[in-house]
Copies of this chain bind each other. A is one copy, B any other.
């Protein structure tokens, strides 16, 4: 646990890497660590180790742990935003005919009905990188922090506006869409996929919530356990 451990082989890489690239590597590591343990629970040293560099270097590049968290959060929000926008643009360009054909007709056929379903799929696809969704979840429960809180609120509201204004969901549909997303986030954050085989109740709830995306999630969960 101490910072002074392992003089072993693959420790601090010391490979010189351009700052921009290094920053992205650290942000990936930070996303995983913050996702797992939250802002207060994570240490800059854990991030450093995950990125295979020294703790002071992390601080050097980002200034403070707070800034690091904010940047990781923005990155996660950005990925989600980007993912939704891509779906919307592709749909409006008529590029998703084959996927549209697979949608449940009972759920409606207006543009907003189609987009609702397509975005739900896109959201669930993001679960593959379980860090993103858990990072968001951790951001949402850090509302009390003076600099993180306001940015988390802004990011969340921006997502809401995106699905309401760009995708055109009416208020109730947008709310339900968000609600399903928050449930998925919760199940992932609770690590329910990790007890999928042992807890019949977990099995049922996961299957009912994630449907066709369940194998994706279970794989991600198992991959995580092999590493973690």
Interface set of A (CB-CB < 8 Å, partner B): 36-41, 134, 137-138, 140-144, 149, 152-153, 156-157, 160-161, 171-172, 174-176, 178-180, 182-183, 185-186, 189-192, 195, 199, 201-202, 204-205, 208-209
Contact of A140 among B161, B176, B186, B204 (CB under 8 A): B186
Residues on the B chain within 8 Å of A175, using CB: 183, 205, 208-209
Taking a contact as CB atoms under 8 Å apart, the answer to whether A190 and B153 are in contact is: yes
Could you tell me the distance between the alpha carbons of A160 and B209 in the complex, rounded to whole angstroms? 13
Residues on the B chain within 8 Å of A174, using CB: 205, 208
Taking a contact as CB atoms under 8 Å apart, the answer to whether B172 and A208 are in contact is: yes
Could you tell me the distance between the alpha carbons of A222 and B168 in the complex, rounded to whole angstroms? 33
Interface centre among A38, A138, A157, A186 (most CB of B within 10 A): A186
Could you tell me the distance between the alpha carbons of A81 and B101 in the complex, rounded to whole angstroms? 43
Could you tell me the distance between the alpha carbons of A39 and B134 in the complex, rounded to whole angstroms? 16
Taking a contact as CB atoms under 8 Å apart, the answer to whether A185 and B182 are in contact is: yes
The 22 sampled A-B contact pairs (Cβ below 8 Å) are A38-B40, A39-B41, A40-B40, A40-B41, A137-B141, A140-B189, A141-B141, A149-B191, A152-B190, A153-B191, A153-B195, A153-B202, A157-B192, A157-B201, A160-B201, A172-B208, A174-B205, A174-B208, A175-B205, A175-B208, A179-B183, A182-B182
Residues on the B chain within 8 Å of A156, using CB: 186, 190, 192
Could you tell me the distance between the alpha carbons of A191 and B185 in the complex, rounded to whole angstroms? 18
Taking a contact as CB atoms under 8 Å apart, the answer to whether A157 and B40 are in contact is: no
Nearest-neighbour CB distance to chain B for A141, whole angstroms, equals 5
Closest to A144 in B: B36
Those 9 A-B pairs whose CB atoms lie nearest each other, nearest first: A40-B41, A179-B183, A179-B179, A40-B40, A182-B182, A143-B191, A157-B201, A171-B208, A143-B190
